[in-house]
Amino acid sequence: MNKESKQLKQDFYSLSLPDIKAWCEKQGLESYRADQIFTWQKKGLTEFAEMSDISKDIRQRLTQEFDAIPLQVSREISSAQDKTKKYVLALRDGNVIEAVLMRYKYGYSVCISTQVGCRMRCAFCASSALSFVRNLSAGEMLAQVALINRLNNSEVKRVTIMGIGEPFDNYANLVEFLKRLNDPKGLNISLRRVTLSTCGIIDKMLEFVNECLYITLSVSLHAPNQGIREKLMPTAKKYRFPDLINAGEHYARKSGRRITYEYALFSGINDQEKHAQELATALRGRNCHVNIIPANEVPGFPFRPSFETTIQRFMQVLEQNGVNVTRRRELGADIAAACGQLRRSYEGA
């Protein structure tokens, strides 16, 4: 349910270059104007008045017909520990989402949301306590990247689709967003620099292979078998463990991109040596690697982080069995880095 039901204008970021060309033609404008106008998307335009190379008359016509940007920053929180920043973003209908900027050796990476709330109800996720409201449009996803890029002097080099929402549950908008993100006349971010995290919607993973948009897939596994996975992730009841591993293998083969399996360790639940052995057996010989996530403590949730010695042993068992394993760097731990946490505290939920 939208918080405000007033009729909204179409927003500028929802327009592709062909859409802008069609608009220019309808307005009787020269065709080169479309490229000029479109360029302002990658600059992170927030008001049409910023279009310094566009006449006042055209800017007025754009203002009458479109909203310049579909979201704005409500709150920005910087980590005292590293250069991570969290942005709470207000959408035009009154809903809020969040995006995170992280600093790595190669430059900045921005993590975006794809939905308001989430339907997947993973037991360990703060977002699962927020009921699903709606999908984000491709323009709303693109505007998160463009605006944060602008606020950080165009230093964003990578995009991760790991914020609030399950991206494959918003499939059509996701595909459009990826094409727009990769547009050479737009933000022109290489698909090789995009990572998408999914809780494992197998039919969409298989459909996505055929789009030939070969980004890195990061599958939230979090369990070494069907039984534990079902307890942590309700979607596992429908999308079964062996089928998920086979779907991951299929994507890796077709795309040539190694699959990442995310595995959050929860004390006493999925972090024992026998679990590492079982996981190694399931993944051995596959084109994948496991990214271990030392779980965050989320207030109000029953899960506890694993002990350091347990984490080390878990990783060692995987390595000894020939499975590539890394440990996720914990960025912004002091500003609630897990998806959904910031928005929840902001809304007072």
From 122, 125, 199, 339, active-site residue = 339
Structural tokens at position 326: 């890394």
**H-state helical runs in the chain:** 17-26, 32-42, 56-65, 138-151, 171-181, 202-209, 226-232, 241-255, 273-283, 308-320, 341-347
Q: Which stretch binds ligand SF4 (CB under 6 A): 6-14, 119-127, 206-214, 304-312?
A: 119-127
Strand 85-91 relative to strand 71-78, pairing:
antiparallel
168 contact partners, CB below 8 Å, separation of at least 6: 174, 198, 201, 204, 205, 208
Query: Which of 14, 16, 46, 128 forms a contact with ligand SF4 (CB under 6 A)?
Result: 128
| Catalytic residue list contains 339 | yes
Q: Which is nearer to ligand SF4, 46 or 115 (CB)?
A: 115
Burial class (CB in 10 A: 0-12, 13-18, 19+), 141: buried
The torsion angles phi and psi of 78, rounded to 5 degrees, stand at -100, 140
Q: Which is nearer to ligand SF4, 214 or 301 (CB)?
A: 301
Residue 295 binding ligand SF4, by CB under 6 A: no
Residue 118 binding ligand SF4, by CB under 6 A: yes
Residue 125 binding ligand SF4, by CB under 6 A: yes
C-alpha span between 136 and 133 (Å, rounded): 10
| Residue 218 contacts residue 187 (beta carbons within 8 Å) | no
C-alpha span between 286 and 322 (Å, rounded): 10
Query: Which of 102, 122, 146, 280 forms a contact with ligand SF4 (CB under 6 A)?
Result: 122
Q: Which is nearer to ligand SF4, 298 or 333 (CB)?
A: 298
Q: Which is nearer to ligand SF4, 54 or 196 (CB)?
A: 196
- Judged by CB under 6 A, the number of residues near ligand SF4 is 12
- Least Å distance, CB 295 to ligand SF4, is 12
Structural tokens at position 62: 């754009």
From 24, 98, 111, 122, active-site residue = 98
Q: Which is nearer to ligand SF4, 138 or 161 (CB)?
A: 161
x/- mask, ligand SF4, residues 25-44, rule CB under 6 A, reads: --------------------
C-alpha span between 131 and 140 (Å, rounded): 19
- Least Å distance, CB 116 to ligand SF4, is 11
C-alpha span between 204 and 41 (Å, rounded): 29
| Residue 69 contacts residue 87 (beta carbons within 8 Å) | no
Q: Which is nearer to ligand SF4, 70 or 165 (CB)?
A: 165
Per CB under 6 A, contacts with ligand SF4 among 312-331 are none
Q: Which is nearer to ligand SF4, 118 or 156 (CB)?
A: 118
Residue 164 binding ligand SF4, by CB under 6 A: yes
Q: Which stretch binds ligand SF4 (CB under 6 A): 122-130, 255-263, 284-292, 311-319?
A: 122-130
Going from the C-alpha of 334 to that of each of 7, 84, 342, the distances in angstroms are: 39, 10, 11
Per CB under 6 A, contacts with ligand SF4 among 196-225 are 199
Q: Which residue has the tokens 């991570």?
A: 84
Residue 98 binding ligand SF4, by CB under 6 A: no
Nearest one of 136, 116, 130 to 348, comparing CA atoms: 130
| Catalytic residue list contains 98 | yes
- Least Å distance, CB 132 to ligand SF4, is 9
- Least Å distance, CB 344 to ligand SF4, is 11
Q: Could you tell me how far CA 220 lies from the centroid of its own chain?
A: 13
C-alpha span between 230 and 37 (Å, rounded): 49
Strand 10-11 relative to strand 216-220, pairing:
unpaired
Query: Which of 127, 135, 173, 255 forms a contact with ligand SF4 (CB under 6 A)?
Result: 127
Site residues (CB under 6 A) for ligand SF4? 118, 120-122, 125, 127-128, 164-166, 199, 339
Catalytic residues: 98, 339
